[in-house]
């Protein structure tokens, strides 16, 4: 049954904690993200209690897990953060921009530490300076960031080295003392620690020489040993630790107390006065800490009036609040974990593939049964109709599993903009709309880079420096707005800024420099599209951020590859708006199939406007190459698919007699086809996985008969027709 331990309990094998590591890493990552978001949105002048608590809990949670699973570097750093955050949430300190910066920096370091624990290469991040700054902030000192932050830099604290005698115990496990030593030594510059002989049972003594304050030492050591078991005294040579100096606090009668467990019944009864102190206004109560001997040279402590340095208390205030409010609005949305399920993305993709196959098979069935006499096969036909409906419902349902809200994409921007704006010396406010708008996970991954580039562009080239803005009569801070919404079967994502906008003149000039032919009369919309030309950048000074000109054309290409479009709108001096339009999902599309000779092609239904039969007279030729067709007093270019795709024609009696009017990026063209075959949902298959990008083709699909049909790239075709 397992070994029996000393106390007679039956224990199985040692529990392998590594099986929980992955959960911890994911959880820590989420906590870090949430913490970052909360820090960024924190209103420094009127910090919300719930938010402060939530930030604290994020750090606390990571610390707990890190300590439990043995990631001591992570636990150490979060412990330091927790100390600062605890003071913030108790309003012992007021939040400052420097604190936010330091906490954000710490969060970055934590990410790096966690990455290393998950196998990433690289050296352990340096934490000494960071910790020192954080400790200083916790003590109420305003500390400048290493590269010169916003707050006035204060001179580093000059503290003399002190000699201390530290008594630790009673310890059940003396090896804890070794951990203290190791911990002390891990922090460079902390000082020197030396174990001393001590023959009191369960007690361990140290001589410490350090510049750190008692508080700092207590914070450090209480990580391994409860505070009431640490006693610090000024070192006097020859002083022997005596029984009198040992903490007079009644140790809980239960013998396990020193290893962190105890039962309350064994405790001496507390005086009612002390219990009153725990009432909601406990913020003012000072509970005499009999454990820590009077300290030498206390570091300056903020706010709490007249109190000796206090050990951290439990979150009594928060309790009061919790009880008082009937409905607590949590700082972060409570996704009741019990009702969600973590599923590997692979599994979902596999599910979607299988459903896609089902759709194709069902389409095949439908096709083969088209010619069945509905009367003779009434039941079968009815069942097939049911199957059709069920398959569609299933498909919709499955596709929705992959839909995630845009907030996932938006979340990275506050931090990025903050850092970027700081670097560029600009003030930028970031606004989002439509975070809840959902889109397919596959799209999210692909849209992030292009959007990032657009936002960086706005910050770098669009938004002017505060003095420039003021000179123009604008408010000193610029605003970048990111919004997402559904429009029909597309999702539209907009990046808007109130910066200097595009300069028509500069763009025309640059375009001509690059050899592009553009008329001075070209409409604005056309001029703006020029910035998508490869190598195009009108930035006078190429910053290392986004001025290399490699960006916009790649952005456009990436978006087109997703079957989307990019529109630009700008007003010089006022700002710019870039709108990205994408199909809601890559995997399924409503298509119209058409035939050209013996071949079948698919058009995205969303781009089809109308269709009609033509007579030879309605087509007019223009010059050598172009042909136009008249549609209700509007002339539009004709695209002859047979010619573009070099479709072999064997039956000369047949010809393209139908025009399908399509629209892309606001422009219309007419495609010449033989016949319209039908409208249906198609499963979009990637052509580029095993092949390459084919001009004028966006993807492929599998028809009811199992054959492959190409899905046409309408934007590409329309663009070609305009040239």
Partner 1 sequence: MYSILAVDDSASMRKMVSFTLASAGYNVVEAVDGQDAFEKAQTANIDLVLTDQNMPRMDGLSLTRKLRDTVQFKSTPILILTTESSDQMKMAGRAAGATGWLVKPFEPNRLIEIVQKVIR
Partner 2 sequence: MGVMEKNSDLMPASSGEYLTFRLASEEYGIDILKVQEIRGYESPTRIANAPGFLKGVVNLRGTIVPIIDMRIKFACSSAEYNSFTVVIILNIRNRVVGIVVDSVSDVLELPAQSIKPAPDIESVIEAGCIKGLGSLGERMLILLDIEALMNSPDMGLVAR
Q: Could you say which of partner 2, partner 1, none residue 710 binds, taking C-beta under 5 to 8 angstroms by partner kind?
A: partner 2
Residue 518 structure tokens: 């553009």
- CB within 8 A of 664, min separation 6: which ones? 565, 607, 714, 715, 717, 718, 719
Asked if 280 interacts with partner 1 (CB under 8 A), we say no
Q: Does 67 bind partner 1 (CB under 8 A)?
A: yes
Q: Write down the least CB distance from residue 674 to partner 2, Å.
A: 16
What is the C-alpha separation between 574 and 484, in angstroms, rounded?
22
Q: How far apart are CA 311 and CA 22, in angstroms?
A: 33
Q: In angstroms, how far is the first alpha carbon of the chain from the final one?
A: 82
Q: Is the dihedral of CA 177, 87, 186, 104 positive or negative?
A: positive
712: closest CA among 675, 684, 680, 690?
684
Do 235 and 165 meet the contact criterion of CB atoms below 8 Å apart? yes
Q: What is the size of the binding site for partner 1 (CB under 8 A)?
A: 67
Query: 602 is written with which tokens?
Result: 């698919």
Residue 702 binds which entry of partner 1, partner 2, none, CB below 5-8 Å type-dependent: partner 2
* Helix, coil or strand: residue 693: coil
Position 332 contacts partner 1 (CB under 8 A) = yes
Interstrand relation of 626-631 and 658-664 (parallel, antiparallel or unpaired): unpaired
Distance, CA of 320 to CA of 693 (rounded, Å): 63
Told to check if 627 binds partner 1 by CB under 8 A, we report: no
User: Would you list the DSSP string of 176-217?
Assistant: HHHHHHHHHHHSTTSEEEEEE---STT-EEEEEEESS-HHHH
Stretch that binds partner 1, among 136-144, 301-309, 322-330, 350-358 (CB under 8 A): 322-330
Query: Considering the rule CB under 8 A, would residue 708 count as an interface residue with partner 1?
Result: no
Please state the closest distance from residue 693 (CB atom) to partner 2, in A. 6
Which listed residue (254, 403, 404, 647) binds partner 2 by CB under 8 A?
647
Binding pattern for the stretch 236-275 against partner 1, x by CB under 8 A and - elsewhere: -------------x--x-x-xx-xxxxxxx-x--x---xx
**How does DSSP classify residue 340?**
-
- Select the residue interacting with partner 1 from 35, 65, 138, 564 (CB under 8 A): 65
The token pair that represents 157 in the structure block: 């604290």
Distance CA 246, CA 291 (A): 9
Site pattern 607..646 for partner 2 (x: CB under 8 A): -------------------------------------xxx
Residue 630 DSSP SS3? strand
Handedness of CA 663, 668, 672, 675 (dihedral sign): positive
Q: Does 442 bind partner 1 (CB under 8 A)?
A: no
Q: Is 17 in the site for partner 1 (CB under 8 A)?
A: yes
345 lines the binding site for partner 2 (CB under 8 A): no
Question: Taking contact as CB under 8 A, which single stretch among the options 83-91, 340-348, 523-531, 681-689 is the one that binds partner 2?
Answer: 681-689
Closest distance of CB 346 from partner 2, Å: 14
Choose which of 6, 329, 342, 692 interacts with partner 2 (CB under 8 A).
Answer: 692
Choice from 287, 431, 518, 609 touching partner 1 (CB under 8 A): 287
Instruction: List the single partner that 296 binds among partner 2, partner 1, none, CB under 5 to 8 Å by kind.
Output: none
Give the neighbor-by-neighbor strand order of the sheet with 588-596. Answer: 675-683, 588-596, 599-604, 708-712, 697-702
- Residue ranges binding partner 1 (CB under 8 A): 5, 7, 9, 11-12, 14-15, 17, 19-21, 23-24, 27, 54, 56-57, 60-61, 63-65, 67-69, 222, 226-228, 249, 252, 254, 256-257, 259-265, 267, 270, 274-275, 278, 287, 289, 291, 311-316, 318-319, 322-323, 328, 330-332, 334, 336-338
- Residue ranges binding partner 2 (CB under 8 A): 353, 356-357, 360, 599, 644-647, 685-695, 697, 700, 702, 706-710
């Amino acid at each position: 049954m397992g070994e029996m331990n000393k106390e007679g309990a039956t224990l199985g094998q040692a529990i392998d904690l590594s099986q929980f590591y992955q959960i911890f890493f994911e959880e820590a990552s989420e906590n870090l993200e949430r913490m970052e978001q909360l820090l960024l949105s924190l209103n420094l002048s009127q910090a919300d209690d719930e938010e402060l608590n939530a930030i604290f809990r994020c750090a606390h949670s990571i610390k707990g897990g890190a300590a439990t699973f043995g990631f001591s570097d992570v636990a150490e750093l979060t412990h330091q953060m927790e100390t600062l955050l605890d003071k913030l949430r108790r309003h012992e300190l007021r939040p400052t921009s420097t604190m936010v910066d330091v906490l954000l920096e710490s969060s970055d370091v934590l990410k790096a530490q966690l990455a290393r624990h998950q196998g990433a290469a690289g050296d352990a991040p340096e934490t000494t300076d960071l910790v020192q700054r954080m400790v200083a902030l916790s003590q109420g000192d305003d500390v400048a960031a290493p590269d010169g932050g916003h707050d006035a830099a204060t001179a580093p604290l000059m503290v003399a080295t002190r000699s201390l005698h530290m008594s630790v115990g009673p310890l059940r496990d003396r090896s804890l003392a070794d951990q203290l030593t190791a911990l002390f030594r891990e922090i460079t510059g902390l000082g020197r620690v030396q174990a001393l002989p001590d023959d009191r049972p369960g007690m361990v003594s140290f001589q410490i020489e350090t510049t750190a304050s008692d508080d700092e030492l207590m914070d450090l050591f209480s990580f391994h040993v409860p505070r009431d078991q640490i006693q610090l005294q000024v070192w006097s040579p020859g002083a022997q630790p005596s029984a009198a100096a040992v903490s007079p606090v009644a140790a809980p009668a239960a013998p396990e107390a020193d290893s962190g467990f105890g039962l309350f019944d064994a405790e001496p009864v507390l005086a009612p006065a002390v219990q009153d102190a725990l009432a909601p206004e406990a913020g003012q109560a000072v509970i005499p800490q009999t454990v820590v001997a009077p300290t030498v040279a206390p570091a300056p402590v903020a706010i709490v009036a007249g109190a000796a340095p206090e050990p951290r208390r439990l979150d009594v205030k928060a309790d009061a609040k919790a009880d008082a409010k009937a409905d607590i609005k949590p700082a972060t949305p409570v996704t009741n974990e019990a009702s969600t399920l973590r599923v590997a993305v692979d599994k979902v993709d596999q599910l979607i593939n299988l459903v896609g196959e089902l759709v194709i098979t069902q389409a095949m069935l439908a096709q083969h049964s088209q010619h069945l006499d509905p009367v003779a096969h009434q039941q079968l036909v009815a069942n097939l109709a049911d199957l059709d409906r069920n398959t569609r419902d299933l498909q919709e349902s499955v596709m929705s599993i992959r839909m995630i809200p845009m907030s996932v994409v938006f979340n990275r921007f506050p931090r990025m903009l903050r850092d970027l704006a700081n670097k560029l010396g600009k003030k930028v406010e970031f606004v989002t709309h439509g975070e809840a708008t959902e889109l397919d996970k596959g799209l999210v991954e692909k849209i992030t880079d292009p959007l990032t580039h657009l936002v960086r562009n706005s910050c770098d080239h669009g938004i002017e420096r505060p003095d420039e803005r003021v000179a123009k009569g604008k408010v000193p801070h610029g605003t970048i707005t990111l919004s997402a919404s559904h429009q029909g079967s597309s999702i539209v994502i907009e990046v808007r800024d109130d910066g200097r906008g595009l300069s028509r003149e500069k763009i025309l000039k640059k375009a001509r420099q690059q050899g592009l032919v553009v008329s001075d009369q070209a409409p604005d919309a056309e001029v703006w599209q020029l910035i998508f030309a490869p190598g195009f950048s009108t930035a006078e000074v190429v910053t290392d951020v986004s001025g290399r000109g490699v960006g916009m054309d790649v952005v456009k290409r990436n978006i087109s590859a997703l079957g989307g479009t990019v529109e630009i709108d700008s007003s010089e001096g006022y700002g710019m708006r870039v709108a990205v339009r994408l199909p809601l999902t890559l995997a399924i599309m409503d298509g119209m199939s058409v035939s050209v000779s013996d071949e079948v092609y698919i058009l995205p239904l969303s781009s089809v406007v109308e269709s009609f039969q033509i007579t030879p007279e309605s087509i007019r030729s223009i010059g050598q190459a172009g042909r136009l067709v008249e549609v209700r007093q509007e002339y539009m270019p004709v695209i002859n698919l047979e010619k573009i795709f070099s479709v072999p024609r064997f039956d000369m009696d047949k010809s393209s007699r139908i025009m399908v009017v399509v629209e892309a990026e606001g422009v219309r063209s007419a495609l010449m086809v033989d016949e319209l075959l039908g409208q249906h949902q198609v499963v979009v298959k990637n052509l580029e996985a095993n092949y390459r990008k084919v001009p004028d083709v966006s993807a492929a699909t599998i028809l009811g008969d199992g054959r492959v049909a190409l899905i046409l790239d309408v934007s590409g075709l329309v663009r070609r027709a305009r040239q």
